[in-house]
């Protein structure tokens, strides 16, 4: 985790007081992580870009509700998870994901768009299959897997993000790994 000289909270205060440029600093600090989270949650680079933008927009609009009881990043993860879950519920994200993955598997290396970094990130066949398996998990299990393995958060932090107990986090993670094990058997 990157440590900054000036903590996030300072920029949060500045933004709430009306300094628009302060929020840009928060965007610069966190957008890569939030994009990574959205990408793994939604399994689709385009949806992930949309969800990342919506996450920051929502965070900006509801920044006054941030009570400084947790780290800003934890709060932002919570906003991101909610946004991703809305995406999953609203659109047929799972269908779009599977189509995009099966297409990329059918045309390995000959897709001009594959050179775009956001697609490059998910280019290998094995990664695609793992991602497709993650997409098959129920949203709550998916969130725990992504926060633990892709974002390297601890049980305590995940519990704060998802507003549940550490025991629930452990149990969801265990169930998710067992589900993934059977899905990735032939890999």
Partner 1 sequence: MNCDDFMTHIQVIRSSSNVQLPENDGFTRHLETCPKCAAEYEEMLRTVSLLENLPDPAPPPDLADRIQRRIAKEENFNRPAFFANPFVRVLRALKLNPHPTLVNCTAMVFYLMLTVFLVKLTFFSESDNSRRVSSPTSSVWRSAHVVTTSWAEIRGIPTPIEDTESTMPVEVLIQER
- When binding is defined by CB under 8 A, the residue of 131, 164, 166, 168 that contacts partner 1 is 131
With 0-12 / 13-18 / 19 or more C-beta atoms within 10 angstroms meaning exposed / middle / buried, residue 163 is exposed
**CB 35, min distance to partner 1, A:** 4
- When binding is defined by CB under 8 A, the residue of 4, 7, 19, 57 that contacts partner 1 is 57
Binding flag, residue 121, partner 1 (CB under 8 A): yes
Binding flag, residue 60, partner 1 (CB under 8 A): yes
How many residues sit close enough to partner 1 to count as binding (CB under 8 A)?
Answer: 44
- When binding is defined by CB under 8 A, the residue of 71, 74, 82, 118 that contacts partner 1 is 118
Binding residues for partner 1 restricted to 63-92, rule: CB under 8 A:
none
- When binding is defined by CB under 8 A, the residue of 10, 98, 164, 180 that contacts partner 1 is 180
Q: For binding to partner 1 (CB under 8 A), which residues are involved?
A: 20, 23-24, 27-28, 31-32, 35-36, 39-40, 45, 48-49, 52-53, 56-57, 60-61, 116-118, 120-122, 126-127, 130-131, 145, 148-150, 170, 173-174, 177-178, 180-181, 184-185, 187
């Amino acid at each position: 985790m990157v440590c900054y000289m000036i903590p996030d909270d300072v920029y949060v205060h500045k933004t709430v007081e009306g300094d628009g440029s302060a929020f840009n600093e928060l965007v610069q600090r966190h957008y890569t992580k939030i994009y990574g989270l959205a990408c793994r949650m939604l399994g689709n680079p385009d949806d992930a870009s949309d969800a990342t933008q919506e996450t920051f927009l929502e965070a900006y609009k509801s920044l006054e509700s941030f009570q400084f009881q947790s780290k800003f990043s934890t709060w932002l993860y919570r906003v991101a998870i909610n946004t991703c879950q809305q995406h999953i519920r609203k659109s047929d994200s799972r269908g779009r994901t599977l189509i995009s993955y099966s297409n990329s598997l059918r045309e390995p290396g000959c897709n001009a768009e594959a050179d775009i970094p956001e697609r490059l990130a998910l280019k290998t066949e094995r990664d695609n299959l793992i991602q497709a398996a993650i997409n098959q998990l129920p949203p709550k299990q998916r969130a725990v897997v992504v926060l633990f393995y892709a974002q390297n958060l601890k049980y305590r932090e995940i519990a704060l993000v998802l507003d549940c107990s550490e025991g629930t986090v452990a149990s969801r993670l265990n169930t998710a790994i067992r589900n993934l094990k059977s899905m990735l058997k032939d890999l």
